[in-house]
Amino acid sequence: MQRFVENGEGRASLSQAEVVNPPTPVVMRADDFGASPGTNDAILECLDAGFIRNVGVMAPAPFLAHRLEELAARQDGFCLGLHTTMNSEWASLRWGPVLPAGAVPSLVEPDGTFYRTTALLNERGIAAEMIREVEEQLAKLNALGLQPRYLDTHMGFSWMDGIADALAGLCHREGLIFADGHAFCGLPLPLTDPPPAQNVRAAIQGLTETHPGARLVSVFHPAKLDSSSALFFPDAARPSPEVGEARHREYLTLTNVAFMAGWTATANILPSAYSTE
């Protein structure tokens, strides 16, 4: 079985051991770069550890500029994506569209920030305005020197009528991988409470049988618990550090090279990117 070993630089790399049972490639993705300084710090450290191979960037997020130059300078070493954002889910940490709110009035609350839920977006949002905003988010990342290779959706809004087809068409025109398409299938790996390896292998087998040919994707949200990450709560009347603490634990796990090397090897997983070009 192939196993990860820690090289002299502290990164995870593959040994040259004989492959008995080839590991299953799993796209390992970290989302929400830009949501908080702690998120950005954690994602960069996860890249150092070597198990995260894809990073989703939120163009409208309030802390996009934090360490962005470092991310851009390293983007040849991982697969960078546009994490298209149409919602602002937290009560006390808000963001709105890249376009002026007046240009996409169906997408925003009276204060100019995005709706909290996809249900409200589906009820009030106009598809044409959503696609215009996605195009502007992509243009913003390009203008900042980023080179997205894939596109996916924050909070999964591509289920709305006509949106998936429109996004797939945009990806085709721009040469991007459409990560919400049928070519990919989600594999939940809750690293804050890691499941036994045999459960992971069973889940992989089940997904490969029910979604033949689809590539498996595991999505993570690592973050250091700073003052902004502590605002990741949905109810202003009931502030809680629960989400921020869970994301901090996920960051600690993903940067624990020894643990992740043993866990991925035992589960027979090969951390992979959407694109290796």
Using DSSP bridges, classify how beta strands 79-84 and 4-6 pair: parallel, antiparallel or unpaired: unpaired
Q: Which tens digits make up the pLDDT trace of 188-204?
A: 998 888 888 889 999 99
Start-to-end CA span in the chain (Å): 26
| Architecture in CATH for domain 4-272 | Alpha-Beta Barrel (3.20)
Between 172 and 12, the more confident residue is 172
**Structure confidence at residue 59 as a pLDDT band (50, 70, 90):** very high
Report the residue count for the chain: 277
Beta-bridged to residue 29, according to DSSP, are 54, 219
Q: Is 166:131 a contact under the CB 8 Å cutoff?
A: yes
Q: Is 277:76 a contact under the CB 8 Å cutoff?
A: no
**Structure confidence at residue 277 as a pLDDT band (50, 70, 90):** low
pLDDT recorded at residue 16: 45
Rounded to an integer, what distance in angstroms lies between the CA atom of residue 268 and that of residue 256?
18
Q: Is 110 exposed, middle or buried (0-12, 13-18, 19+ CB in 10 A)?
A: exposed
**Structure confidence at residue 12 as a pLDDT band (50, 70, 90):** low
- Mean pLDDT over the full length of the chain: 93
The token pair that represents 4 in the structure block: 């990860």
**Strand, helix or coil for residue 135:** helix
Q: How many CB atoms lie within 10 A of CB 113?
A: 17
Q: Which tens digits make up the pLDDT trace of 118-131?
A: 999 999 999 999 99
The token pair that represents 226 in the structure block: 């700073």
Q: Is 15:8 a contact under the CB 8 Å cutoff?
A: no
Q: Which tens digits make up the pLDDT trace of 201-251?
A: 999 999 999 999 999 999 999 999 999 999 999 999 999 999 999 999 999
Q: What are the residue boundaries of the structural domains of the chain, listed by start?
A: 4-272
Rounded to an integer, what distance in angstroms lies between the CA atom of residue 40 and that of residue 36?
6
The token pair that represents 5 in the structure block: 């070993």
Phi first, then psi, for residue 175 (nearest 5°) are 70, 30
